Amino acid sequence: MATSLKNLSDYDPKRVPSAENMSFGIVVSEWNNNVTDDLLKGALEALIKHGAKNSNIEILHVPGSFELIAGAKMMLRQHNPDAIICLGSVIRGDTPHFDYVCQGTTQGIAQLNAQHDIPFIFGLLTTDNLQQALDRCGGRLGNKGTECAVTAIKMAAINKQ
């Protein structure tokens, strides 16, 4: 379903398991921090809302979205959480750099999911302009960070079964 037809923050809270006994890692890009700070805020609010303890949430800031992959590996090695949320924002520019960063990051996070026994949640906004990113980090289309946190809780619960 296209994002324009769905608010990223809309979900049924009754269908989300308790995160009380779960631990989470959040790796967030500093690039486009006017967007990624709000993604992080949405993720943290959702995790806490569903019972996660602050002491069970580790946050790692990395320079850019491409570094989410290495940051997620470091998070796994250092903290061994039940799920890792990767948050970033890449906004199309005038060069093909956008395509390389988006493709590489997407493939890297997919590879982490295939290689490890915990879920790595893909929270990379890939937008054509700043307004599209702002719409998806707490604006009119909700917050992708919230959606990622809910996904992390659900996938961690499935993995624990």
Catalytic annotation present for 61: no
Pairing of strands 120-127, 83-91: parallel
Residue 46 makes CB contacts below 8 A (sequence gap 6+) with 145, 146, 149, 150, 153
User: CA–CA separation, 1 vs 68, rounded Å?
Assistant: 26
Indicate which residue of 50, 61, 79, 97 is catalytic: 97
User: For residue 4, what are its two tokens?
Assistant: 């324009």
By annotation, the residues acting in catalysis are 97
